[in-house]
Amino acid sequence: MPLHLTKIAFGATSYADIESWYAGGRAPFLTTKYRPTKWEQCIGGSLYWIHQHSIVARSVIKGFSQTDAGRWRIELEPELIRVQPRPKRAHQGWRYLKGEPPRDLAEGEDIGDALPGKLAAKLEKLGLV
């Protein structure tokens, strides 16, 4: 079973901004200082995007390559897949996704008005969601 990563959608003010990164069938340019220790297990897994304290979408990880500057490029499929929003605390860089990944939304599935991540996390702690 492949491992999954999470990453903050830094610079995105809305979900539409994340979608624009994939416009024209291209994947966003994503580099990191450190390659995951378990990088081989991440290939075929997904990178889950966090926006406003919620996991909102994912892209399949194709591989890792080193740049001339010594940084690591995370190569993604040029397709953005929307997922059922799940609260997720902000962090720097990438992290391994713990637990079961959020399910993909079906074509045309409406998630309604998603709760803000912080509120959804508090309600989940109380057992109300």
Looking at residue 47, what is its pLDDT?
A: 96
Does position 100 have pLDDT exceeding 80, yes or no? yes
Residue 24 confidence (pLDDT): 84
Sign of CA dihedral 71, 74, 80, 83: negative
98-119: average pLDDT: 74
pLDDT (tens digit per residue) in 1-16: 899 999 999 989 988 9
User: How far apart, in whole angstroms, are the C-alpha atoms of residue 62 and residue 43?
Assistant: 6
pLDDT, tens digit (0-9, with 9 covering 90-100), for 41-76? 999 999 999 998 889 999 999 999 999 999 999 999
Distance CA 93, CA 31 (A): 10
112, pLDDT greater than 60: no
What pTM was computed for the model? 0.83
